[in-house]
Amino acid sequence: MFRRLPPFGGDQRAVAEIVNGIMDGKTNNTGTVTLTQSATSTTLTDARIGPESVIIMTPMTSNAAKEFGTCFVSARINGSATLTHQNTGHADLDFTYIIVG
């Protein structure tokens, strides 16, 4: 789960912990997804996704690496994105992703 500050900041310790985490590369914008087996699309649900978000994926298994070039983000709305991909019988199409914007 990702950590947020209240709209008007937080106590100094909370702000320092979050800013230090950001400086250490912990930007809380990552997740994992497994493509739906025997289907041509997968819905990626994440509250951080918006209509203009960029989603960058990295394959985590050999079968996912084989499908990497066929998978793309075909739609984005607040809270989810549609990933379009080939229909495959593999169950281990595991990816990690980052969301920017």
CB neighbour list of residue 10: distance below 8 Å, 6 or more residues apart: none
Coil, strand, or helix at residue 67? helix
Secondary-structure breakdown of the chain: helix, strand, coil percentages, each rounded to the nearest 5: 20, 35, 45
CB atoms within 10 A of CB 71: 20
pTM (predicted TM-score): 0.82
Q: Please, which residues bridge with residue 81 across strands?
A: 44, 76
pLDDT tens per residue across span 41-97: 999 999 999 999 999 999 999 999 998 889 999 999 999 999 999 998 999 999 999
Tell me if 57 sits within 8 A of 97, measured CB to CB: yes
